[in-house]
Structure 1
Amino acid sequence: MSIDPSSIPNFGGQPEEPEGSGPTGPILPDQDLVKQLLDQMELKYVVDDEGDLAAPWEEFRTYFMFRGEAEQQVFSVRTFYDRQHSIEDKPKLLEAIDDWNRRTLWPKVYSHTHDDGSVRLIGEAQMLIGTGVSLEHFVSSTVSWVRASIEFDKWLVEQFGLEKEIDSSEGEGDGEGS
């Protein structure tokens, strides 16, 4: 099966004319279908040592995983945000992600505290696919989840003034004043 390019949501651009139609019944998505979608979205990806598909960005990476068996199979889009936060910032961080989780559908974001005391965030969205899903629903959900993962990172940078940290670290050593 292949993805009809017109089925990829346009979100804000002019609607494209459909070029054809995909399957009319439910499909069982697989990694090859996700690879086709990522190719059409012009996103780079790799397959990790565990066989999961991952799309890397500068400050995070998004995994596309299939878990479970038969009718209970789940497709999960999980984003691991690489920016480390201190344990002292965790209460402020939890307050912010609680606000995000209340106001948005996805990704649902949670924290993970590492043994060294650093805190990182993880975003996740899931879909039960074991009994089949429509191709259009699968494509639009996956595209929306990827875009929302990117938007969460931008939102977090704005909430915590992290762009100032990024800007100041880029400007260090260049001989110009701030």
Structure 2
Amino acid sequence: MSNRSGLWLLRMLGGMPKPTKRADDEPPRIVTRDRVADYLLGRGYRFVIDDDGDLTGTWDGSRFWFLLLGEHQEIVQVRGRWHRTMPLEQRRAVTLALNDWNRDRIWPKAYVREEEGQLALYSEVSSDLEVGATDQQLAQLIACGLGTGVQMFSALDSVLPQDDAGDPDVPDN
């Protein structure tokens, strides 16, 4: 038996010290709107609290919301809405573009909704954090939602015809 393969037995019998806890091994904590806001502020991002109490801001011209959903607000969702809308006649092209995105990538989920006679395109990254999250886990989820959403909207700009431009009311980050 090699020295390395016997280490587990020594540890089990009390012959070796237990591994020490690292500083980055923080326990998960309940996710709150304040924790999400603290992350955004720490990154220097500008955002507002809308009439529904949700955190929202614009990144590269597109609106993003940071939502806490579920019975106990345990689901964290980063939802983006593309700064452009498309005419209803473009539904086929929009659907094909979003299907291509969803087929080739895990994040974000992409979908289209009809709003006020136009097509609105959305991105979503959601995670059930019922047991809480460390600061690092929460940061990774928010960064994933924002980063992949901005990336998707940028890709859409290059494949869908230019028809309409949005007018966001919060300055870009």
* TM, length-normalised to structure 1: 0.73
Which aligned pairs between 1:1-178 and structure 2 lie closer than 5 A?
21=23, 24-57=26-59, 59-70=61-72, 73-116=74-117, 118-160=118-160, 162=162
For structure 1, which runs of at least 5 residues remain unmatched after alignment?
A: 1-19, 167-178
* TM, length-normalised to structure 2: 0.75
Return the offset for 1:160: 2.2
Q: Deviations for 1:131-172, whole angstroms, at most 9, x for unmatched residues?
A: 22233222112112111111111101111254x988xxxxxx
Residues paired across the two proteins, number: 144
Structure having the higher Rg: 2
Instruction: Determine which structure has the larger helix proportion and give its number.
Output: 1
Structure number with higher relative contact order (C-alpha < 8 Å, ≥ 6 residues apart)? 2
Say whether the 8 Å CA contact 1:107–1:145 is kept in structure 2. yes
User: In 1, distance between residues paired with 2:97 and 2:143?
Assistant: 24
What code does the residue aligned with 1:127 have?
S
Secondary structure at the counterpart of residue 150 of structure 2: helix
Say whether the 8 Å CA contact 2:60–2:150 is kept in structure 1. no
What code does the residue aligned with 1:147 have?
G
User: In 2, distance between residues paired with 1:66 and 1:140?
Assistant: 16
Secondary structure at the counterpart of residue 84 of structure 1: strand
Secondary structure at the counterpart of residue 33 of structure 1: helix
Among all aligned residue pairs of Structure 1 and Structure 2, give the percentage whose two residues are the same amino acid.
Answer: 23
